[in-house]
Amino acid sequence: MGLSDYLPGLAVLVGVGLLARVLAETVVPVNHLILAIVLGVLIGNLLTIPAVLRPGLGTHKLLLEAGIVVMGARIALGDVLASGLVIVGLVVVVVAFGILFVETLSRTVFGIAPRLSSLIAAGSSICGVSAVVAVAGGIKADEDQIAYAVATILLFDAITIFLYPWVGHLLALPDQVFGMWAGLSMFSTGPVTAAGFAYSDPAGQWAVLTKVTRNVLIGVVAIGYSLYYAHRRVGGESDDTAGSGALAQLWSNFPKFVVGFLLVMVLASTGVLGGEAVTSLQNGYKWLFLFAFVGLGIQIQVREMRSTGLRPIAAVSVGLVTLSAVSLGLLTVVL
């Protein structure tokens, strides 16, 4: 597939993103990033997307990851070093609590099958759909279980994009607290980034920094689940999956854009990148996020979410509320 195949869809992302920017500044008193997502949702659900546009529209994930990499120029290395241990500690505690809580809740209270419980626990505790896909292969989940888990996660991604900024303003949370709260408790990277920057630019930076740290654990969790199901009979389901190739699986599931983010941050903070280059990068990530969020909205398909089972929704609802409360409580104590 050549570059020309991507241009029509990319043109739509750019055009709708620019429209959202203009409308937010002149007509609709809404943050332009949130408006970009809303316009995307309307397009994706009210119109039939021609096949010629799909390749370009699908690049929104790449644009988001590129934006995160470029945003590394905006993050001061000194701030990361000063807060790094706090962020890592909070991420480990919240992720471990989230997985154990949602797993136990799903199996014992809502009677959800073990593998589906594991998928929604990983998705709601690490990084959304990416975690579901990463874990699914290692535990040999079937297609129906993957579909239920993905639909459930996407449903809450769509809700929390709008709910978190509203709650944050209602509680008058400081930028750093809100950003880290979103990064610790929301599910997927795209919605976390959108909610963070919809709140404020500093909140968005803290949200991405916290979420990137959380995403690093995806490989570890995927391997852990693979080994668990390989050596135990769970809920009457036997599995002969071998736990070999742990390092290869770790790298396979590792979010590669994290490396780029750290590299750009170090280069910008140490002066290797000149002032003009840093300024250009700092402006660039905002545009990349704007265009990526249009695609994020288009992928939110209301019709597909209707297939989500009520029990997974109930389990994830309780898990999200609990995880949000725990993470916010920890932040108020630590910060």
pLDDT at 279: 78
pLDDT digits (tens, 9 = 90+) for 200-210: 999 999 999 99
Q: Could you give the CA distance from residue 175 to residue 180 in angstroms, rounded to a whole number?
A: 9
pLDDT band at 108 (very low <50, low <70, confident <90, very high): very high
- Range scoring the smallest mean pLDDT among 28-32, 106-110, 122-126, 167-171: 28-32
Instruction: Provide the mean pLDDT of the chain.
Output: 85
Q: Could you give the CA distance from residue 76 to residue 268 in angstroms, rounded to a whole number?
A: 8
Q: Which of 313, 37, 258 is nearest to 127 (CA)?
A: 258
Highest-pLDDT range among 1-5, 131-135, 189-193, 263-267: 189-193
- pLDDT of 243 higher than 70: no
For the chain, the straight-line distance linking the first and the last C-alpha, in angstroms and rounded, comes to: 49
Could you give the residue ranges of the DSSP H alpha helices within 105-174?
114-125, 129-139, 143-170
pLDDT band at 253 (very low <50, low <70, confident <90, very high): low
Q: Could you give the CA distance from residue 196 to residue 180 in angstroms, rounded to a whole number?
A: 9
pLDDT digits (tens, 9 = 90+) for 139-160: 888 888 888 888 888 889 989 9
